[in-house]
Amino acid sequence: MKAMVLRKQGLIDIFPLNMEEWEIPEPSEEELLVRVSCCAICRTDLHIIEGELPPKRLPIIPGHQIVGVVEKVGGKCKKFNKGDKVGIAWLRKTCENCLFCNTGKENLCENSIYTGYHENGGYAEYTLIDEEYAYMLPKNIDEVRVAPLLCAGIIGYRAWKKTEIIKGQVVALYGFGASAHIILQIAKAKETYVYVVSQNERHQQLAKELGADWVGNTPSKMPELPDASIIFAPNGSLIPPALQYLKKGGKLILAGIYMSDTPPLEYEKHLFYEKQILSVSANTRSDGQELFKEINNMQVNIHVNKASLKDTNHLLQKLKKGVFIGSGVVVID
């Protein structure tokens, strides 16, 4: 099978992923072999490829927002059959035994592993997944538009739920990439007001088209202080202003798996009045199932930019530079 393989971490500009010919992997008794249809790209792939996240395994095939078709099922699999459509996300496996796993917080599992980081992911013609961690997808779905839901969607959805805001309240989104453009639409469907802070004019334009109630490049100009804010950009310097321009008792959610350091915080200006900061770490499987259920009842418009497998480096480079709006998706021919 053809695969885009990372053997040595390096800046995306030197195209660290190489096209290689690998054996098609054999599923264990609990696993499915999946023929990949497409795999959406994510900023976490960039952090793995460029070395901001330490390598867990090299060589590795990255990619963790995978849609495909079951090609072969392991002997003990009960839920999936050959030909089923399947989604594979970042959370790949948990120990199912630790305190977190036993209390509904498997996203915090002490021994969790991740797709395209600990185990090979979706920038390839075939991949494997334990059937307990695969999402069953309807046969008639638009694969390319569903792929970005598997990380950008699920993690964004978890961040959205953590805000606990309700109809009529205001949420501010910092950064407007793949995840934020999905969450804005969910927030609007829930009849909340959405403000978007972004420096990128094309992202600002998309936010307006999708119904943002205010769009600008600095939170100081927001028409009123938000009840909650979510930072999607991996930029810790956004934390102080996001806290400063937050209502008393407001929540600031950090939706990134990686973020640069935050500058020092001032107690009175940034933290007092019961403001809360909360990060989001991966997702539980029920977050994913809930999101797919929610999305079914809404009109969510996912903007995609497609590329073929051999052009994966190029698409990731465009993500880094903020060249496209919405989500990038690698389509396997």
Considering the complex, state which of residue 145 and residue 188 has its C-beta at the smaller distance from Zn ion: 145
Cβ distance 89 to 83 under 8 Å? no
Q: Minimum Å distance from CB 116 to Zn ion? A: 9
Residue 156 Cβ vs Zn ion, minimum distance, rounded to whole Å: 10
Nearer to Zn ion (CB atom), residue 102 or residue 218? 102
CB atoms within 10 A of CB 43: 23
Judged by beta carbon, residue 234 or residue 250, the one nearer Zn ion is: 234
Question: How far apart are the C-alpha atoms of 314 and 328, rounded to whole Å?
Answer: 11
The CA-based angle 103-286-123, given to 5 degrees, is 120
In the complex with Zn ion, which residue's Cβ is closer, 153 or 226? 153
Min separation Cβ 65 and Zn ion, Å:
6
Helix (H) or strand (E) segment spanning residue 111: none
**Where does this chain bind Zn ion (CB under 5 A)?**
42, 44, 94-95, 98, 101, 109, 151
Which amino acid is residue 316, in one-letter code?
A: L
Cα 301 to Cα 292: distance, rounded to the nearest angstrom:
14
Query: Which residue has 């995609």 as its token pair?
Result: 304
- Output the CA torsion sign for 129, 142, 22, 320: negative
- To Zn ion, the closest distance from the beta carbon of 291 in angstroms equals 14
Compare residues 26 and 110 and give the one whose CB is closer to Zn ion: 110
Query: CA distances (Å), 300 to each of 68, 123, 171, 319, in order?
Result: 21, 25, 18, 21
| Residue nearer to Zn ion on the CB measure, 219 or 328 | 328
Find tokens 């099922």 and name the residue. 73
95 vs 271, which CB is nearer to Zn ion? 95
Q: What's the CA gap between 254 and 229, in Å, rounded?
A: 9
* Residue at token pair 């496996």: 93
| 19 vs 197: CA distance, rounded Å | 38
The 3 state secondary structure assigned to 256-285 is CCCCCCCCCCCHHHHHCCCCEEEECCCCCH
Interatomic CA distance for residues 209 and 206, integer angstroms? 5
Strands 91-93, 113-114: pairing is antiparallel
How far apart are alpha carbons 262 and 317 in whole angstroms? 25
Least distance to Zn ion from the beta carbon of 95, Å? 4
Judged by CB, which is closer to Zn ion: 230, or 243?
230
DSSP state of 175: S
User: What does R_g of the chain's alpha carbons equal in angstroms?
Assistant: 20
Nearer to Zn ion, 80 or 174 (CB): 174
Structure tokens at 212: 């943002």
